[in-house]
Amino acid sequence: MPRAERLEQDGVAFRDLNKNGRLDPYEDPRLPVDERVADLLAQMTLEEKVGLMFHSVTGVEGMGPPAHVTHGLIRERFITTLNVYALPDPRAAAEWINGLQEVAEETRLGIPITLASDPRHAWTENPATSMAAGHLSQWPEQLGLGATGDEELVREFGDIARQEYLALGIRIALHPQVDLATEPRWARSVGTFGEDAELSGRLGAAYIRGFQGDELGPQSVACMTKHFPGGGAQKDGEDPHFNFGKEQVYPGGMQEYHLRPFDDVFAAGSAQIMPYYGKPEGTEWEEVGFGFNKDVITGLLRRRYGFDGVVCTDWSLVTDTQLPSGEVIYAKCWGMEDASTEERVLKIVEAGCDQFGGEFCTDVLIGLVQAGKLTEARIDESARRILRDKFRLGLFDDPYVDPDEAERVAGKDEFRAAGQRAQRRSLVLLKNDGILPLRERPRLYVQNVDPEIAAGYAEVVATPEEAEVALIRLQAPYEPREGFLESIFHAGSLAFPPEQLEPILDLLGKVPTVVEIFLDRPAVMPEIAAEAAALVASFGAGDEAVLDLVFGRFSPSGKLPFEIPSSLEAVLVQKPDVPHDSEAPLFPYGHGLGF
C-alpha cells in the first residue's frame, strides 16, 4: 500500500493489516530482525524463496527493459533484488522506484524491492561496470580516491553517495572494488584504489563505513564489496569478462597479498560480497570461476573469514544474453563451459553463493529442489541472509522514497562542491620543470580543454605559434576492439601508437607545454614525459580542477596509486600478481610533487 495508507500504532509505522485482519510478526518493526525473518520464511513457498536468490537487471521505461518485463519478474518469478543501470532525473527516478515498490507490495507477502547500482559518481561510462555521475555529485574515479590516500575524504565520499543513493531508493552499492591493480594492462584498474594492499584495505574500510555507518540500518546503503578473492592478477592483463581473459594467475606467489584488503573490509562490516569471474590456475583451488568455486566461497570466505553475509555472483555466469543487435554475450562460466544450465546453477549454490547476479532462471533452481538435487533447507539458508538485509535496511517498514527529497538531495550544491574538492585532491603532479604554477594571464593554446573555461585563466590563442605556453589533456592509450563489450573496455597495449604520439611530440617541440593525462590505467609515455614542461596525472577531473592546479590556485598533493612503467618490455616481464615490480619505472608508486 502507498505510505499514506499505512497504520500508526504507539508511534510506530506499520504496513496495513493483512488479509486476516491482523499484523504478522514479520511486519512488526519492534521485534528483533531474526524473529521477523523466521516468521516470514515460515510463510514462504519454495517459489518465493527461490525468487530472493536472483539479482536481476531492470531499468526505467525507455532506458532498460519494458515495465511489463520488470513487473513480471516481481509478480511471477518473485524476484525482489534488481540492479538498475541508466536513470532519469532524480524526481522521475524516485517515482519509478516507488512504482516498483507498489507492484511488490501487491504480491502475496509484499516483500519489498531492494534496488542496487554499480558506481555512478565518477566519469567512466561502462554499461558493464559503472555509470557516469549525471545528476549526482561528480567525484574522481575510485582510483583517484586512492591517489588522495585520505581515509576521511573517502569516508566523506561514501556518506555523500549514501545520501544520494537513499534519496533515489538505491539500497545496495555494488562496490567498492578492492581488487589490486598489480597488472598494469588490466582494464578495470580504474575502479580500484590502486596496486597496494595496505592502501586498498584502509580506504576500502573507510568507503564502507561511509555507506553503511557503524552497522547496517534504515539509513544505510549496503556495500557488496568486490571481487573476492581479489581480481587484478590477470594473465596478460586481459579481463575475465571475456573467454580470452579468464585465467587468474599468481606466478609471484602473491595470493595472500591480494586477500589482505578483505581483512579491513570484513572489519568494517561489509554486508555483502561479490566473487569475480576469473578462473584460478596453478593454485590449490579448483580451476573453475570463483562464483562456482567451493574452495574459495565455502572454504575461504565462509570458513576462514567467517563471513555470513550475502554472497552474490558477478553477472551472467549461467545463461547467454542476446542483444537487440543480434550479438550474443556468452555466459562467463569459466571451467564450466561444457556444463548444462542446471549443472551451473547447482555448482554455484553448492559453492556457497546466495544470489545469481544478472540471472532470472528461477525455474531451473526450483527444478533442482523438486528433483532432490538440492534441499529446501539449503534454499532457506540463502533466503534467510537476503531477508535479513532487507529487514536491517528498513525496507519492510517503509520502502518508499520522497520525490521532493530526491530532487533536493541528489546533486545538491554542497555535495557537488565536495566532489570538486576531491577532484583537485586527486591530481598528481608528476613533473615540473619550473613552469608551474603559471602566473598572470599568459597567451595559452589548449587542446581537449574548453576554451571558454580556459579564458577565465588566460588569453586563449588559436595556434601554438601565438602561445607562450600550451595545455593539452590526453587519455591513456588502449587498443580499440570489436564487439559490444570488448569495445567498451580499455585494454591491450599501454603505449601511444605512432599516429597519436607524433603530433603530441610535434606540439611539445613548438611551445612549452603542460600535459595532463587521464590514467584509467598506467600509460607508457617516456617520450612525452621527457619533452613536456610539466606532466599531471588525473583520475577523473574537470577542466576547472586541472586549470586550478596549473595556475596555482591550490598545491597538488596526490600520489600515484600505481607505478608508471618505463617501457612495454618492462610490463611484459613483470609478474601480474606482484605490486611495484616494474623494472626502473618512469614514476614509482607513491610519486607526486607539490609546489
SS (H, E, C) 96-124: HHHHHHHHHHCCCCCCCCEEEECCCCECC
How much is the mean pLDDT over the chain?
95
pLDDT at 489 over 90: yes
Residues in contact with 73: Cβ distance below 8 Å, sequence separation at least 6, in sequence order = 56, 58, 79, 82, 360
**What is the per-residue pLDDT across 307-326, written as a single tens digit (0 to 9) for each?**
999 999 999 999 999 888 88
Angle (CA) 374 379 381, round 5° = 125
Contact 472, 446 (CB under 8 A): yes
Q: What integer pLDDT is reported at residue 5 of this predicted model?
A: 47
- For residue 428, give the H/E element and its range: strand 428-432
Domain holding 163: CATH number? 3.20.20.300
Report pLDDT for 4. 37
- Asked whether residue 7 is assigned to any structural domain, the reply reads no
Can you give the pLDDT at residue 443?
98
Mean pLDDT of 455-474: 98
- What are the grid coordinates assigned to 566, written together? 618505463
Task: Place 462 in a pLDDT band, splitting at 50, 70 and 90.
Answer: very high
- Measured between alpha carbons, how far is 66 from 110 in angstroms, rounded to an integer? 22
**Same domain for 376 and 443?**
no
Task: Tell me the Cα Rg of the chain.
Answer: 25
Whether the per-residue pLDDT at 43 is higher than 70: the answer is: yes
pLDDT over 90 at 7, yes or no? no
The verdict on 539 and 505 lying in the same domain is yes
* Same domain, residue pair 315 and 433: no
The tens digit of pLDDT for each residue in 174-225 reads: 999 999 999 999 999 999 999 999 999 999 999 999 999 999 999 999 999 9
Q: Are residues 343 and 483 in the same domain?
A: no
- Looking at the fold, whether 371 and 439 belong to one and the same domain comes out as no
394's torsion region: left (phi>0), alpha (psi -120 to 50) or beta? left
The strand pair at 54-58 and 170-173 is best described as unpaired
Query: Residue 12 burial by CB count (10 A; 0-12/13-18/19+): exposed, middle or buried?
Result: exposed
Q: What is the mean pLDDT of residues 391-408?
A: 98
Q: Same domain for 481 and 454?
A: yes
8 three-state secondary structure: strand
- Please say if the pLDDT value at position 11 is more than 70: no
- Determine the distance from the C-alpha atom of residue 338 to the mean position of all C-alpha atoms in its chain, rounded to a whole number: 30
Asked, for residue 24, whether it belongs to a domain, the answer is no
403 and 461 together in one domain? no
Q: What is the pLDDT of residues 236-279, one digit of tens each?
A: 999 999 999 999 999 999 999 999 999 999 999 999 999 999 99
**Phi/psi of residue 514, nearest 5 degrees:** -95, 120
Let me know if residue 15 belongs to a domain: no
Q: For the packed helices 362-370 and 376-392, what is the interaxial angle rounded to 10 degrees? A: 140
In a domain, 433, yes or no: yes
* 284 class by beta-carbon count within 10 Å (0-12 exposed, 13-18 middle, 19+ buried): exposed
Cα three-residue angle 203-207-208, rounded to 5 degrees: 120
Q: Which position has the higher pLDDT, 29 or 66?
A: 29
Range in 69-73, 78-82, 349-353, 504-508 the model is least confident about: 69-73
Alpha-carbon 496 to chain mean position:
27
Q: How far apart are CA 202 and CA 193, in angstroms?
A: 10
Give the model confidence (pLDDT) of 108-137 as tens digits: 999 999 999 999 999 987 877 888 889 999
Residues 6+ apart with CB under 8 A from 567: 524, 526
Domain that holds residue 176: 44-409
| Residues 218 and 307 reside in one and the same domain | yes
pLDDT score, position 15: 55
Per-residue pLDDT at 126 = 80
- Domain tally, the chain: 2
- Rounded to whole angstroms, how far apart are CA atoms 155 and 148? 12
Q: Do residue 516 and residue 444 come from a single domain?
A: yes
Segment 34-47 shows an average pLDDT of 98
Going by C-alpha positions, the residue among 109, 197, 121 that lies closest to residue 164 is 121
The verdict on residue 38 lying in a domain is no
At 179, phi and psi to the nearest 5? -60, 155
Of 258-272, 422-436, 475-489, the range with the lowest mean pLDDT is 475-489
pLDDT at 80 over 70: yes
Cα separation of the two ends of the chain: 60
- Regarding whether 432 and 341 lie in a shared domain, the answer is no
**Among 381, 409, 437, where does a domain finish?**
409
How many CB atoms within 10 Å of residue 46?
15
| pLDDT (mean) for 151-179 | 98
> Looking at residue 319, what is its pLDDT?
97
Please state, for a pLDDT cut of 90, what percent of the chain lies above it: 90
Residues 287-306: tens digit of each pLDDT: 999 999 999 999 999 999 99
User: Does residue 6 lie within any of the structural domains?
Assistant: no
Which residues lie closer than 8 Å to 592 by C-beta, 6 or more apart? 147, 428, 429, 430, 556, 557, 558, 559, 560
Contact present, 243 and 192 (Cβ < 8 Å): no
Mean pLDDT, residues 348-360: 98
Supply the pTM of this predicted model.
0.95
Q: Can you give the pLDDT at residue 67?
A: 87
The SS3 of residue 391 is: helix
| Between 62 and 45, residue with greater pLDDT | 45
- Looking at the fold, whether 450 and 548 belong to one and the same domain comes out as yes
Cα(430)–Cα(592) distance, rounded to whole angstroms? 6
Active site residues: 314
pLDDT of the residue at 9: 52
Residue 561 domain flag: yes
CA gap 536, 548 in Å, rounded: 12
Q: Where are the alpha helices (DSSP H) in 2-89?
A: 33-43, 46-52, 67-75
CATH number of residue 485's parent domain: 3.40.50.1700
What per-residue confidence (pLDDT) applies to 183? 98
- 32, part of any domain: no
Same domain, 395 and 522: no
Rounded percentage of the chain residues whose pLDDT exceeds 70: 96
Indicate left, alpha or beta for 126 from its phi (over 0: left) and psi (-120 to 50: alpha): beta
